[in-house]
Structure 1
Amino acid sequence: MHVFIIAGEPSGDALGARLMAALKREVGRPVRFSGVGGPLMAAEGLESQFPMGELTLLGVMEVLPKAAHVLRRVREVAARILETRPDVVVTVDAPAFSFRVGKKIRGHGLCHIHYVAPTVWAWRPRRAKMVAGFLSHLLVLFPFEPPYFEVHGLGTTFVGHSVVEGAADAAEMKAAGQALLARLGIAPDRPVLVVLPGSRSSEVRRLAPVFGETLALLKARLPELAVLVPTVPNVSRLVREMTADWPVTPHILEAAADKLPAMAIGRAALAASGTVALELALTETPMAIAYRTSPLSAMVFRIMAKLRFANLINIMEDRAVVPEFLQDQCTADNLAASIETLMTDEKARALQIEAMQRVMTALGRGGPAPSTRAARAIVEIEAAQRPAVRTA
């Protein structure tokens, strides 16, 4: 079986690598991979057509100067696919690149499966009809997503979210968190707050100051408070700079292996809005969510967005379980009051934790790994479409 697989960013590289490993287990014949990916996919046997970093570096401000180069890469990848005619083409997220390739190969009798749906439930819903025009099938991470695409005739399979894949249970993660506290020299009876100011420099610059002000208020109420700040390499230096004058000296954690243990041992978390909410839900850490962006960006989002909530736990529950403090509501007074409640009020904590457990179960915890479910779906779809593909 020849699988042409494309990923365009580190998260897609991780998803793609797990999927490749699962396909090798699930396909009943030898599997050959080609396409575009990063180091994790290379470790599973992919020789990338060009460095994935060429796509990863595409931020909003970089699109125009690199547009010609990226479009050339789209043509090159599409040409390789049409030349080699793989059994299945799998694109993993990276819609700006993946969908351009998909449009170029449609109508050529190829089975094209995309993994990770565009968030049409949040904004730009017309994209659902657009992708239905060139995809053979769609694999999605959230159980509420299939109807958005099936109404346009696109077969869609919920496979589960990667956050639940291979994760230890809450007790094991808390034990790892206790070991982390011992390594950091933090007494096990001190209240621990996990602070996550974001993975983008713009997020860190906007949130670190108000988070520092929040800690000043919390320190007066919880004088023994310890603060853990898991971060990522691309903003770690900025995080250290922006937290240097915080009233509670934070423990900055750059190792990826420390992230979940730190979350698990936290009594509560103060976090930038984003997918980190699912990791906090996995570790059953009550949280308050904050976000600030530019006034213009906020106005555009309010006009285009369809969501009642920003936090994925609230979206899944369709109710306000996790406190959200966005834009003008993102103040030190609001954040400190919310965090103090989550640190001290057992009823408030229990309500969040129960919702988190439901969401994790809905996303696939306790069942087959999402990568396994995705691989099985791909095998079934490719086999079912094979006669039509071969005669197209």
Structure 2
Amino acid sequence: MNLSKTDQHDGPLFYIVAGEVSGDMIGAGVMKSLKKLTSGKARFAGVGGVHMSSEGLESLFPIEELSVLGLFELIPKIPKLLKRIRETVHDIFLKKPCAVITIDSKGFNFRIAKQIALKQNKKTNKIKLIHIVAPTVWAWRPGRAKKIAKLFDHLLVTFPFEPVYFIPHGLKTSFVGHPALEEKEGNADTFKKSFSIPKDCLVLSLLPGSRTGEIDRLLPVFEETVSKLKHHFPRLCILIPTVLALEDRVRNIISEWAAENVILVQNQDKQDAFAASDFAIAASGTATLELALARVPTIVAYKVNFLTGWLAYFLVNHQSIVLANRILEQPLFPLLVQKNCNSDKIVEVLISQKNRKNIAKEMELASSTIRKRLDIDGNTSSNLAAQAILNETKDL
């Protein structure tokens, strides 16, 4: 039986691959929408985490194995990653899905797409290759767009300025909105009451990233920062949102902190924590966009190893790292990278931010502007992505 076809017994099979927590969350939303749009007939296989598992996916292997921070951090993991690529490609051809949907994690997913493109017969029984979340060609190495265009049938992007980079190379590209807009606004009062946070406390959220390498590099810097901030703000409360897969690692690190009033926040309480936050310090990534939408003044702090940082210095447009700044087309959220990512500098910038008189109005305007630029007639990103996937596979 051809599993890529729909009949009265079996619905279409979609093979979804997500390699990081953010991709896992996007994948779960797309799965939920695909089930809804196919009246529950859609079936799934692939690689994902706890969120995709909650929608019925049995992951081929744990996605934590794919969490790699930078180029030089990748090198020791290459043999294991190559093995997982072979296993994934083998599983795809074994299951014969109607489409392979890869989400972010370009280092892993693009190699899978390349292997599939090389192995399958392009004339008959072609597996559709769809990628969600474009690589940041607008931040570094725009020439990658031409190579990517050769791999996929359809690229679903989350920012309105991205299609122009890929369409000229012949890649069908659709803006489907950003999944961050699907998050419900948090409740500050509920959160503060639940965690007994006094009203006169300065609430600071720390987001060290969703990869182990990011956490190991940034949490020590954040610890020093908190220690120094205590001298300026004695009534300081620290929130550290994290995800289930990294909760134990984060808990072990912060258990050695001398600071009091440090609260580890689980993912389901994240939006409430943002609503309760006066300021935030965050690694670059989707979290910075979520904080901007939640109107939280945020300092973006990022650090990688020396060699990766040296290479990035020459190749990366640093201001484009901060998603909110790229969308707003202005450097509203301060960026501190590498040698500037230190406790003294972070404290200096945070105090400066706190002393700005109009910061609340600026955050309100920024949040409103970002929502308008990422929204597509009130449709959710998950639904738009799912509909695009079904349109791409309707003739199979």
Q: Which amino acid is the alignment partner of residue 69 of structure 1? A: K
Q: Which moved more, 1:210-219 or 1:51-60?
A: 51-60
CA distance in structure 2 between the partners assigned to 1:132 and 1:95 by the alignment: 13
Q: Which moved more, 1:257-266 or 1:58-67?
A: 58-67
Q: Which amino acid is the alignment partner of residue 238 of structure 2? A: V
Q: TM-score, normalised by structure 2?
A: 0.83
Aligned to 1:270: 281
Structural mapping, 1:208-287, within 5 Å? 208-233=219-244, 234=246, 236-238=248-250, 240-242=252-254, 244-246=256-258, 248-287=259-298
For residues 126-181 of structure 1, give each alpha carbon's deviation from its aligned partner in whole angstroms, at most 9, with x where no partner exists.
3211121131111011111111110101110011121111x223xxx1x3x32222
For residues 54-110 of structure 1, give each alpha carbon's deviation from its aligned partner in whole angstroms, at most 9, with x where no partner exists.
8536672443332552243144134226xx3x4433222333343333234332433
Aligned to 1:69: 83
Indicate if the aligned counterparts of 1:89 and 1:112 stay in contact, CA closer than 8 A.
yes
Q: Against the structure 1 CA distance between its residues 365 and 214, is the aligned structure 2 distance closer, same or farther, given a 3 Å change threshold? A: farther
The answer to whether structure 1 residue 127 and structure 2 residue 138 are counterparts is no
Q: TM-score, normalised by structure 1?
A: 0.84
CA distance in structure 2 between the partners assigned to 1:57 and 1:308 by the alignment: 24
Q: Against the structure 1 CA distance between its residues 225 and 378, is the aligned structure 2 distance closer, same or farther, given a 3 Å change threshold? A: same
- Which consecutive residues of structure 1, in runs of 5 or more, have no partner in the other structure? none
Aligned to 1:162: 179
Indicate if the aligned counterparts of 2:138 and 2:320 stay in contact, CA closer than 8 A.
no
Partner residue of 1:377 out of 372, 381, 388: 388
CA distance in structure 2 between the partners assigned to 1:34 and 1:316 by the alignment: 34
The two structures, once aligned, show a CA RMSD in angstroms of 2.9
CA distance in structure 1 between the partners assigned to 2:211 and 2:58 by the alignment: 29
Partner residue of 2:369 out of 350, 358, 365: 358
Structural mapping, 1:13-32, within 5 Å? 13-27=24-38, 30-32=41-43
Secondary structure of the 1:195 match is strand
Aligned to 1:5: 15
Q: Which amino acid is the alignment partner of residue 378 of structure 2? A: G
Aligned to 1:80: 94
Number of equivalenced pairs:
374
Stretches (4+) displaced over 6 A? none
Deviation of residue 379 (structure 1)?
2.4
Secondary structure of the 2:321 match is coil
Q: Which moved more, 1:214-223 or 1:127-136?
A: 214-223
Q: Which moved more, 1:371-380 or 1:58-67?
A: 58-67
Secondary structure of the 2:151 match is coil
CA distance in structure 2 between the partners assigned to 1:267 and 1:323 by the alignment: 16
Deviation of residue 223 (structure 1)?
2.7
Aligned to 2:55: 44
Indicate if the aligned counterparts of 1:322 and 1:352 stay in contact, CA closer than 8 A.
no
CA distance in structure 1 between the partners assigned to 2:40 and 2:203 by the alignment: 50
Aligned to 1:339: 350
Secondary structure of the 1:192 match is strand
Q: Which moved more, 1:132-141 or 1:6-15?
A: 6-15
Deviation of residue 288 (structure 1)?
1.4
CA distance in structure 2 between the partners assigned to 1:250 and 1:188 by the alignment: 13
Aligned to 1:148: 165
Q: Which amino acid is the alignment partner of residue 131 of structure 2? A: H
Q: Which amino acid is the alignment partner of residue 168 of structure 1? A: K
Q: Against the structure 1 CA distance between its residues 216 and 7, is the aligned structure 2 distance closer, same or farther, given a 3 Å change threshold? A: same
Indicate if the aligned counterparts of 1:231 and 1:252 stay in contact, CA closer than 8 A.
no
Partner residue of 2:131 out of 108, 114, 120: 114
Q: Which moved more, 1:298-307 or 1:145-154?
A: 298-307
Indicate if the aligned counterparts of 2:31 and 2:52 stay in contact, CA closer than 8 A.
yes
Q: Against the structure 1 CA distance between its residues 3 and 117, is the aligned structure 2 distance closer, same or farther, given a 3 Å change threshold? A: farther
Q: Which amino acid is the alignment partner of residue 253 of structure 2? A: E
Q: Against the structure 1 CA distance between its residues 70 and 210, is the aligned structure 2 distance closer, same or farther, given a 3 Å change threshold? A: closer
Deviation of residue 297 (structure 1)?
1.9
CA distance in structure 1 between the partners assigned to 2:161 and 2:361 by the alignment: 25
Secondary structure of the 1:320 match is coil
Q: Which amino acid is the alignment partner of residue 89 of structure 1? A: V
- Which consecutive residues of structure 2, in runs of 5 or more, have no partner in the other structure? 1-5, 7-11
CA distance in structure 2 between the partners assigned to 1:288 and 1:258 by the alignment: 21
Indicate if the aligned counterparts of 2:15 and 2:92 stay in contact, CA closer than 8 A.
no
Percent of matched pairs sharing the same residue: 35
Indicate if the aligned counterparts of 2:67 and 2:211 stay in contact, CA closer than 8 A.
no
Secondary structure of the 1:308 match is helix
Aligned to 1:305: 316
Secondary structure of the 1:316 match is helix
CA distance in structure 1 between the partners assigned to 2:356 and 2:162 by the alignment: 34
Secondary structure of the 1:215 match is helix
CA distance in structure 2 between the partners assigned to 1:242 and 1:275 by the alignment: 23
